[in-house]
Amino acid sequence: MQERLIDRNPLPPGIGARLASQLAFVAEVDRLKSVLRASLLAAEERRENDAEHSWHLALMVIVLAEYAEEPIDVGRTIQLVVIHDLIEIYAGDSPVYDPAAVRTQAVREAAAADRLFTQLPEDQAAQLRAMWEEYEAGTTPEARFGRALDRVEPMLLNWLNEGGTWGMPGANLGTVRARAAGIEPGSSRLHAAVSALIAESTARGWIRPE
Amino acid sequence: MQERLIDRNPLPPGIGARLASQLAFVAEVDRLKSVLRASLLAAEERRENDAEHSWHLALMVIVLAEYAEEPIDVGRTIQLVVIHDLIEIYAGDSPVYDPAAVRTQAVREAAAADRLFTQLPEDQAAQLRAMWEEYEAGTTPEARFGRALDRVEPMLLNWLNEGGTWGMPGANLGTVRARAAGIEPGSSRLHAAVSALIAESTARGWIRPE
């Protein structure tokens, strides 16, 4: 197993055990900046990483909260999106249009969660694990809205890139619409807007018909 | 003046004016992923960008909130750190150990704020501008804790990089300690921990004595 980043240069004495384990965790999650997604940025020609993506979702919660299907606690929704991809530090990204990656995703991610969250003090390990599970299950208005934004963001990037990941082998009008359908439980208004992007992108040849 | 990212590929009709301007803003802030900071990552050898940095602060609010000097609203603190560097999209980063950049910083950032936030609907432009000004002024416990984390994060990265930006010409024990002093109003506990990192880093030769 890979060493933790902090093990390369352990913290000096004089920092209490609880804070030291929290700072070690804060150091370890620097790895999220190195997990590449399939999505291309709009502002420059390179792939997006998970930390940037998670920040973008947090910003979208602030700007788009009024479109949530049910009333949401904005602060709690941001917490969910900030931590939603943390387990990819060890599990890697699973591109939605890559069936092989999606097949093994759940098993890889549960193992990664066990390994990651247990690096925190017990109370916080339980708290972050519960937030991640809430997000994954989509059982609250906050989780449903976060999951909606997680689908809106890459589709907006694809629009700005004149196709982007819609050009991947597994993507066509059917699979793209199926992915976009996951927006509706969190926000029917945003689902309608994304549907307009998808229709126009198909008309322009950026999405293959089924 | 640079065109907005959305102007390269305007949104299709059928999306209301308010939502369209919000989505255009969400697209435009993709640029934050291209604003490079002086800090090096711990996980790979490249410079950190503002979007990654902002995400890291948001995660730190969740994990380190218990060390805030005064009680804070965690959700509101995360909102402040998520938006705190947005104006650098147009103003650029101002490395703290670069006196020339710091000298012109306030003027550049105020102009950038005028240009950026006005792209949102009026109510949200006022809301985000007020949050940014609250953060800058450090007038609330949430702003003070966010500003503390903004100093802790690069110092932790420097520790993991065996010096990092502490090797810049303008950095020495005096300027590093002065920068770290900005942590104290937000968190004396985190200030004490960072002071331990600074003392040990000086002993190891990663920070020049004054």
pLDDT at A1: 59
**Residue B100: pLDDT band by 50, 70, 90 thresholds?**
confident
Strand A47-49 relative to strand B36-40, pairing: unpaired
Instruction: Give the Cα separation of B157 and B174 in Å (integer).
Output: 19
Instruction: Give the Cα separation of B56 and B187 in Å (integer).
Output: 17
Contact A6 B60 (CB under 8 A): no
Residue A26's closest chain B neighbor by CA? B60
* A62 interaction partners in chain B (CB closer than 8 Å): 79, 82-83, 128
pLDDT at B69: 98
Instruction: Give the Cα separation of A92 and A85 in Å (integer).
Output: 9
pLDDT at B140: 98
From the list B137, B155, B85, B152, the residue with the least C-alpha distance to B113 is B85
Task: Please state, as a whole number, how many other Cβ atoms lie within 10 Å of the Cβ of residue B3.
Answer: 7
Contact A43 B30 (CB under 8 A): yes
Task: Please state, as a whole number, how many other Cβ atoms lie within 10 Å of the Cβ of residue A210.
Answer: 10
pTM for the structure as a whole: 0.97
Q: What is the ipTM of this complex?
A: 0.96
Distance of CA A57 to the CA centre of its chain: 8
Tell me the percentage of chain B whose pLDDT exceeds 90.
Answer: 90
- Asked if B86 and B32 touch (Cβ cutoff 8 Å), the reply is yes
pLDDT at A41: 97
pLDDT tens per residue, range B62-97: 999 999 999 999 999 999 999 999 999 999 988 888
- Segment B158-182 shows an average pLDDT of 96
Tell me the percentage of chain B whose pLDDT exceeds 70.
Answer: 100
Residue B59's closest chain A neighbor by CA? A82
- Asked if A135 and A43 touch (Cβ cutoff 8 Å), the reply is no
- Asked if B171 and B98 touch (Cβ cutoff 8 Å), the reply is no
Structure tokens at A26: 């804060």
Structure tokens at B147: 């500003």
pLDDT at B1: 59
- Segment B38-64 shows an average pLDDT of 97
Q: Is B85 helix (H, G, I), strand (E, B) or coil?
A: coil
* A58 interaction partners in chain B (CB closer than 8 Å): 54-55, 58, 78, 82
Residue B73's closest chain A neighbor by CA? A75
pLDDT tens per residue, range B104-137: 998 999 999 999 999 999 999 999 999 999 999 9
pLDDT at B57: 98
Q: Is residue A93 over pLDDT 90?
A: no
**Residue A100: pLDDT band by 50, 70, 90 thresholds?**
confident
Residue B120's closest chain A neighbor by CA? A63
Cβ under 8 Å to B: A residues 117-176: 120, 124, 128, 153, 156-157, 159-160, 162
DSSP A138-181: T-SHHHHHHHHHHHHHHHHHHHHTTTGGGGSTT-SHHHHHHHHH
- B61 contact partners, CB below 8 Å, separation of at least 6: B74, B77, B78, B81, B145, B146, B149
Select the residue of A8, A52, A63 nearest B51 (Cβ to Cβ). A52
Q: Is residue A2 over pLDDT 80?
A: no
Contact B67 A19 (CB under 8 A): yes
- Segment B178-191 shows an average pLDDT of 98
Contact A9 B160 (CB under 8 A): yes
Task: Please state, as a whole number, how many other Cβ atoms lie within 10 Å of the Cβ of residue A169.
Answer: 9
Instruction: Give the Cα separation of B74 and B62 in Å (integer).
Output: 7
